Chain A
């Protein structure tokens, strides 16, 4: 039993894997059984993530050597505060997405639960891995699961959006492999900690090629993170996906942002000589452009799901702007914003499904429809979540945006950041107010009857709205965690040292 805590790092990867395999084997069984197993898997994941978070809370970096091969020869999983925090976020999101899905949207296809678990496997693996090629593999796992979730249920719109999404991601995967191959050819390693050491010791002859490979890598992560001009796939894909799938997709753009942050601080950080700060200048400009383009999309949307997809683009832009400002305050603010915006976006996708169910054939189209019998409840939830996502007080988006704006003060970019973030927030509020009033106030007497929503359907959405409020009440501890995680990634020496000096565990027979 004494070695059990050492396996905490791999538990968030193994639990969804095993649950997923079990669900594939039980694919013919009754729906309630599959729902129970899937839910238990998610709850076990939540427990395991919390356990991992407690272990890294002290600032310790945990290294797990797969097959007991030491780095840099073997593949390692590494958990620091940032990785554990993202795993925890995934688990919390998964719990509510699963609560929402088992209310009926999982019935449209038979493999929903298995795909959902494999999606979690890919996400957690991508957050925890310490190896660049392994990151590629986990990206592919989460992508192929997301293709399945996106196409879950049928429909022409879903096939079209799915085709675009799959093709652009396959091209992205090819570019990822080109970048990985170039880095391996030049530096002879793919372990991220070892790459960091070798980049720092790089001769001048190879700087250009390594820079090209690094920017190619950045391009791929920017595609995943939906950074302009590579964000155009997102609104089509997320709005065509079922809202229960879109809710879990809310964290997929954050995987891209996480990978950018990890590569930027670990491999191209302050120690990397001529390649230092390779990505930041791009991030800031492109982040702001993303926010602006996302806002135009929000204003132009005619369906609620499309509008929320554009809000996801804006939140990705805001996070990457914060990462682009650089410095510990901006990175901490960006992380706080990442945590809260993921949960709020997921809640909005779930609410969309509730609204669409109620309105019948009008679905989530932003035009006058039937009078909603529970407009005050649905509208009230929409109001709360809209306030949170637009960044108005008293909800979590406000705290996040204030922290980001505050961190930009004193930098050259401050006027740009502040003006673009504030102006786009105003437009977002206008678009959300217009959408809300169309959905909940404007009624068409010829539109027929709306059905009463089942109160139980609203539980996951309400719980997420409550969490947004908790993010304000407990802003201080959450922000301190983000600040501690930032401090840890900005000083990667401990990470590198721990990964490269970790010894294999002794075998059972050895003494």
Chain B
């Protein structure tokens, strides 16, 4: 399970980096989204992988899932979502202002 998750995070990050380095704004936005997915998964599994254990203290339980990464990842998702929305709007506006969707504002 750990190996699978690690491979998925690695793959997402690699695709994200590849897309961020593209020349058009749409792939770059997709790349940023994939990077934020990767980082959210990464933060989440930093509390270790547990199945079927609660994150809230109960008297008859011995094992708990770490609640902190879950809180962190919620914050990161919200911030990442807001930032993605912003960058989409900005990319649209740059497309309107500059007349093309190249990140440098002019077609090579």
Interface residues of A (CB under 8 A from B): 133, 137, 140, 144, 147, 151, 154-156, 159-160, 162-164, 166-167, 170-171, 173-174, 177-178, 180-182, 184-185, 190
Can you give 28 contacting A-B residue pairs, CB < 8 Å? A133-B75, A140-B79, A144-B83, A151-B90, A159-B105, A160-B94, A163-B91, A163-B94, A163-B103, A163-B105, A166-B86, A167-B20, A170-B32, A171-B35, A173-B79, A173-B80, A174-B35, A177-B39, A177-B43, A178-B39, A178-B42, A180-B43, A181-B39, A181-B42, A181-B46, A184-B46, A184-B69, A185-B46
For A133, list chain B residues within 8 Å (CB). 72, 75
For B83, list chain A residues within 8 Å (CB). 140, 144, 166, 170, 173
CB nearest to A151 among chain B residues: B90
Interface residues of B (CB under 8 A from A): 16, 20, 25, 28, 32, 35-36, 38-39, 42-43, 46-48, 68-69, 72, 75-76, 79-80, 82-83, 86-87, 90-91, 93-94, 97-98, 103-105
A162 vs B94: C-alpha distance in the bound complex, in angstroms?
Answer: 9
A449 vs B104: C-alpha distance in the bound complex, in angstroms?
Answer: 35
A155 vs B103: C-alpha distance in the bound complex, in angstroms?
Answer: 15
Q: Is the interface of A mostly helix, strand, loop or mixed?
A: helix
For A190, list chain B residues within 8 Å (CB). 68
For B16, list chain A residues within 8 Å (CB). 174
For A160, list chain B residues within 8 Å (CB). 94, 97-98, 104-105
A160 vs B32: C-alpha distance in the bound complex, in angstroms?
Answer: 17
For B20, list chain A residues within 8 Å (CB). 167, 171
Contact status A144-B97, CB under 8 Å: no
A162 vs B92: C-alpha distance in the bound complex, in angstroms?
Answer: 12
Tell me how far the C-beta of B75 lies from the nearest C-beta in chain A, rounded to whole angstroms: 7
Q: Which of A144, A163, A166 has the most CB of B within 10 A?
A: A163
For A184, list chain B residues within 8 Å (CB). 43, 46, 68-69, 72
A-B contact count (CB 8 A): 87
Contact status B103-A167, CB under 8 Å: yes
CB nearest to B69 among chain A residues: A184
A464 vs B41: C-alpha distance in the bound complex, in angstroms?
Answer: 47
- In the complex, given contacts A159-B93, A167-B20, A171-B20, what are 13 additional A-B residue pairs having Cβ atoms less than 8 angstroms apart? A137-B79, A144-B82, A147-B86, A156-B97, A159-B105, A163-B90, A166-B90, A167-B87, A173-B80, A174-B36, A174-B38, A178-B39, A184-B72
CB nearest to A165 among chain B residues: B90
CB nearest to A147 among chain B residues: B86
CB nearest to A183 among chain B residues: B46
Tell me how far the C-beta of B61 lies from the nearest C-beta in chain A, rounded to whole angstroms: 19
- Cβ-closest 4 pairs across A and B: A185-B46, A160-B105, A159-B97, A159-B94
Q: Which of A159, A181, A184 has the most CB of B within 10 A?
A: A181
A174 vs B91: C-alpha distance in the bound complex, in angstroms?
Answer: 19
Contact status B32-A167, CB under 8 Å: yes
Contact status A159-B90, CB under 8 Å: yes
For A151, list chain B residues within 8 Å (CB). 90
A17 vs B53: C-alpha distance in the bound complex, in angstroms?
Answer: 39
CB nearest to B25 among chain A residues: A163
For B47, list chain A residues within 8 Å (CB). 185
For A162, list chain B residues within 8 Å (CB). 90, 94
Tell me how far the C-beta of A256 lies from the nearest C-beta in chain B, rounded to whole angstroms: 19
A48 vs B66: C-alpha distance in the bound complex, in angstroms?
Answer: 38
Tell me how far the C-beta of A52 lies from the nearest C-beta in chain B, rounded to whole angstroms: 27
Tell me how far the C-beta of A209 lies from the nearest C-beta in chain B, rounded to whole angstroms: 12
Contact status A137-B104, CB under 8 Å: no
Contact status B35-A155, CB under 8 Å: no
For B75, list chain A residues within 8 Å (CB). 133, 137
From A155, A166, A177, give the contact of B42 (CB < 8 A). A177
CB nearest to A160 among chain B residues: B105
For A156, list chain B residues within 8 Å (CB). 97-98, 105
From A140, A167, A174, give the contact of B39 (CB < 8 A). A174
For A140, list chain B residues within 8 Å (CB). 79, 83
For A177, list chain B residues within 8 Å (CB). 39, 42-43, 76
For B82, list chain A residues within 8 Å (CB). 144
A190 vs B86: C-alpha distance in the bound complex, in angstroms?
Answer: 28
For B48, list chain A residues within 8 Å (CB). 185
Q: Which of B25, B47, B94, B98 has the most CB of A within 10 A?
A: B94
For B35, list chain A residues within 8 Å (CB). 170-171, 174
